[in-house]
C-alpha cells in the first residue's frame, strides 16, 4: 500500500506543485481554506481516486482531524506568506503561522504521525545575516513577524523531535518562481506594468539583493529531502547559489515583456518595506550533500516566469 501524504496549503503555489509530484507515489490529501489558493491549481487531479481535497482551515481542530485521517507524512505548506501583512497584522500572522502550525503538529503527536516536511523561509529567518552565503548553523534573528513565526515554529519542531520522536525537515526556502505564483516581486512588477506599461514603481532603492529558485528545482529538493527520511529536526536551506538585485529583475521584466520607454521609479529606501531583508544569500552545501543540483539559473527562472505570466494573464499591452 502506498503512503498517504497530507499537503496543507496544497491549493497554493508551492503546495500544488508538490501535489503534482507526490501523486505519482502517494495517496494525497490536501487541506486548504482557499484564502489564496485556487481550485484550478489541482483541477487535473480531481477525478483521481488517490486525491482528496478538504476545504478547511489549519486553525480549526475538526478540519485538521479530518485531514489527518490515516496520514503517514505531512507536508506543511499552508501559511500567511506575506511579510508586509505580518507587520500590519501580527496577531493574524501568529494565528495562522504559529497557532495553526502548532495545532497541526500537536494532533500529529496525538495520532502518532511521525514525519513533517515544513515550508520555512531562509529569506526571513536569518534576518540581516552577517555571514553570506548563510549556513543553517547561524542563529535565526528574524526582522519581520512572518520571519519570527517561521523561526518560532521551527523551535517546536526541534522540541517535538526530542520529546515525541517526530522527525522533520524545515525547508528554509529562498524566493521561489514558477507557474501559479501570484505574489512576490516578479508577479507584482508584471501587474504594475499591465496597469501602466510606461511606469514601474520599485519599492526601495533597487539594490536589495535576493536569491530565487525555479519551482522545479525546489520540488526536486523537497522530494530528495523527504525521501532521505532524516531523523530528528533538520533545517535545510533550499535556494539557488546565485543572487540578483531588484534593479536587474525590473530590467529583465521590461525586456522580457517587450516594452520600451518604461520609466523605472525607485522609492529610494534601503528596505522596500518594513521587515524587508536587504540581502539574502544562502549556503546550499547541506542540500547538495544529498545529491541535489539545480537545473535553472536565476535569470532563466525569471524568464520562464514571464512566459507563464504572459500565457496566464496576457501580453502587455
Ligand atoms: N513562494 C515563496 O517564494 C516562498 C518562500 C519561502 C517560504 N515559502 C513558504 O512556502 C509555503 C507556500 O508558499 P506559497 O508561495 O505557495 O504561498 P501560497 O499563498 O500560494 O500558498 C499558501 C496556501 O495556504 C493556504 N492557507 C492560508 N492560510 C490557511 C489556513 N489558515 N488554513 C488552510 N489553508 C491556508 C492558502 O489558501 C494558500 O493556498 C508557505 O509556508 C510560505 O511561507 C514560500
Note whether residue 316 is domain-resident: no
CA 31 → CA 23, 77, 203, 206, 251, distances in Å?
15, 10, 34, 37, 38
pLDDT at residue number 10: 98
What's the total number of domains in the chain?
A: 2
| pLDDT given at position 7 | 98
What number does the ligand 1 atom closest to the CA of 150 have?
A: 43
Which of 30, 34, 36 best tests ligand 1's pocket when mutated (most atoms within 8 Å of CB)? 36
Average pLDDT of the segment spanning 96-109: 98
Instruction: Give the atom of ligand 1 at the shortest distance from the alpha carbon of 10.
Output: 39
pLDDT at 96: 98
Cβ atoms of residues 202 and 266 within 8 Å = yes
Q: Residue 116: inside a domain, yes or no?
A: yes
Ligand 1 centroid to 179 CA: how many Å?
A: 14
| 118 shares its domain with 165 | yes
- The conformation of residue 289, written as its DSSP 8-state character, comes to T
Q: Which of 146, 156, 190, 212 does the annotation list as catalytic?
A: 146
Which atom of ligand 1 lies nearest, measured to the CA of 122?
A: 6
- For residues 253 and 218, membership in a common domain is answered with no
- The answer to whether residue 317 is domain-embedded is no
Q: Say if ligand 1 is within 6 A of residue 14 CB.
A: yes
Arithmetic mean of pLDDT, 93-115: 98
CA of 81 to the centre of ligand 1 (A): 5
204 and 62 in a single domain? The answer is no
Which residues, in sequence order, are CB contacts of 116 under 8 Å at separation 6+? Answer: 73, 74, 75, 76, 105, 108, 157, 166, 167, 168, 169
Q: What is the mean pLDDT of residues 182-187?
A: 96
The answer to whether residues 77 and 165 belong to one domain is yes
pLDDT at 230: 98
Confidence of residue 2 (pLDDT cuts 50, 70, 90): confident
Catalytic residue check, 164:
no
Residue-number span of the structural domain to which 119 is assigned: 3-176+214-238
Does one domain contain both 96 and 28?
yes
Percent of the chain residues past pLDDT 70, beyond the cut: 100
Give the rounded percent of residues in the chain with a pLDDT score beyond 90. 99
- What burial class does residue 218 get, using C-beta atoms within 10 Å of its C-beta: 0-12 exposed, 13-18 middle, 19+ buried? buried
Q: What is the pLDDT of residues 283-298, one digit of tens each?
A: 999 999 999 999 999 9
For ligand 1, mutation pick of 8, 9, 101 (most atoms within 8 Å of CB): 9
Per-residue model confidence (pLDDT) at position 188:
97
Query: Could you check whether the bond before residue 133 is cis, i.e. omega within 30 degrees of 0?
Result: yes
* pLDDT of 189 above 80: yes
pLDDT surpasses 80 at 1: no
Residue 191: inside a domain, yes or no? Answer: yes
The answer to whether residue 130 scores a pLDDT higher than 90 is yes
Distance 161 CA to ligand 1 centre (A): 24
CA angle 195, 193, 81 (to 5 degrees): 95
CATH of the domain at 193: 3.90.25.10
Question: 25 — phi, psi (to 5°)?
Answer: -125, -10
pLDDT reported for residue 99: 98
Same domain, 120 and 255: no
Residue 289 lies in a domain: no
Q: How far is CA 4 from CA 1, 22, 27, 115, 218, in A?
A: 9, 10, 5, 11, 21
Q: Are 23 and 224 in contact (CB under 8 A)?
A: no
**Does any ligand 1 atom lie closer than 6 A to the CB of residue 186?**
no
**What does pLDDT average to over the chain?**
97
157 and 104 inside one domain: yes
C-alpha 254/C-alpha 316 separation (Å) is: 10
Q: State whether 221 and 85 are in the same domain.
A: yes
The number of the ligand 1 atom at minimal distance from the alpha carbon of 59 is 31
Residue 194 within any structural domain of the chain: yes
d(CA 67, CA 53): 9
CA of 68 to the centre of ligand 1 (A): 19
Q: Give yes or no: residues 26 and 76 share one domain.
A: yes
Q: What's the confidence (pLDDT) of residue 317?
A: 82
User: Do both 160 and 64 map to the same domain?
Assistant: yes
The confidence score (pLDDT) of residue 173 equals 98
11 pocket-lining for ligand 1 (C-beta < 6 Å): yes
Same domain membership, residue 166 and residue 92: yes
Same-domain check for residues 97 and 188: no
Question: Taking a C-beta distance cutoff of 8 angstroms, is the pair 235, 168 a contact?
Answer: no
What CATH number is given to the structural domain containing 77?
Answer: 3.40.50.720
If you measure from the C-alpha of residue 78 to the centroid of ligand 1, how many angstroms do you get, rounded to a whole number? Answer: 5
Q: Convert the pLDDT of each residue in 209-251 to its tens digit.
A: 999 999 999 999 999 999 999 999 999 999 999 999 999 999 9
Q: Is 146 in the pocket of ligand 1 (CB under 6 A)?
A: no
**Ligand 1 touching residue 7 (CB < 6 A):** no
Residue 44 lies in a domain: yes
CA distance 273 to 280: 15
The H or E element that residue 261 is part of is none
The answer to whether residue 284 sits within a structural domain is: no
Peptide bond into 73 cis (omega under 30): no
Amino acid at each position: 500500500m502506498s503512503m498517504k501524504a497530507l499537503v496543507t496549503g496544497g491549493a497554493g503555489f508551492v503546495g500544488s506543485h508538490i501535489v503534482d509530484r507526490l501523486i505519482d507515489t502517494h495517496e494525497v490529501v490536501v487541506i486548504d481554506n482557499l484564502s489564496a489558493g485556487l481550485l484550478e491549481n489541482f483541477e487535473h487531479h480531481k477525478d483521481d481516486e488517490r486525491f482528496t481535497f478538504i476545504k478547511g482551515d489549519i486553525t480549526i481542530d475538526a478540519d485538521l482531524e479530518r485531514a489527518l485521517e490515516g496520514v503517514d507524512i505531512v507536508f506543511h505548506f499552508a501559511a500567511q506568506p506575506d511579510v508586509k501583512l505580518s507587520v500590519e497584522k501580527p496577531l493574524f500572522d501568529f494565528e495562522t503561522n504559529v497557532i495553526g502550525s502548532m495545532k497541526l503538529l500537536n494532533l500529529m503527536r496525538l495520532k502518532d504521525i511521525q514525519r513533517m516536511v515544513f515550508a520555512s523561509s531562509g529569506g526571513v529567518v536569518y534576518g540581516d545575516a552577517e555571514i553570506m552565503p548563510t549556513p543553517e548553523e547561524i542563529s535565526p534573528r528574524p526582522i519581520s513577524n512572518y520571519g519570527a513565526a517561521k523561526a518560532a515554529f521551527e523551535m517546536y519542531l526541534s522540541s517535538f523531535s526530542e520529546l515525541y520522536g517526530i522527525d522533520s525537515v524545515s525547508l528554509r526556502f529562498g524566493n521561489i518562481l514558477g507557474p501559479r505564483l501570484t505574489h512576490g516581486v516578479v508577479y507584482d512588477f508584471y501587474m504594475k506594468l499591465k496597469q501602466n506599461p510606461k511606469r514601474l514603481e520599485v519599492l526601495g532603492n533597487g539594490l536589495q539583493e535576493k536569491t530565487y529558485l525555479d519551482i522545479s528545482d525546489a520540488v526536486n529538493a523537497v522530494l530528495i529531502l523527504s525521501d532521505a527520511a532524516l531523523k530528528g529536526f533538520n533545517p535545510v536551506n533550499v535556494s539557488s547559489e546565485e543572487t540578483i538585485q531588484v534593479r536587474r529583475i525590473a530590467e529583465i521584466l521590461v525586456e522580457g515583456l517587450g516594452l520600451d520607454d518604461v520609466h523605472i521609479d525607485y522609492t529610494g529606501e534601503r528596505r522596500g518595506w518594513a521587515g524587508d531583508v536587504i540581502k539574502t544569500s544562502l549556503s546550499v552545501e547541506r542540500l547538495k550533500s544529498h545529491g541535489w543540483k539545480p537545473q535553472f539559473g536565476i535569470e532563466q527562472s525569471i524568464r520562464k516566469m514571464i512566459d507563464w505570466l504572459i500565457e496566464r494573464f496576457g501580453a502587455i499591452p
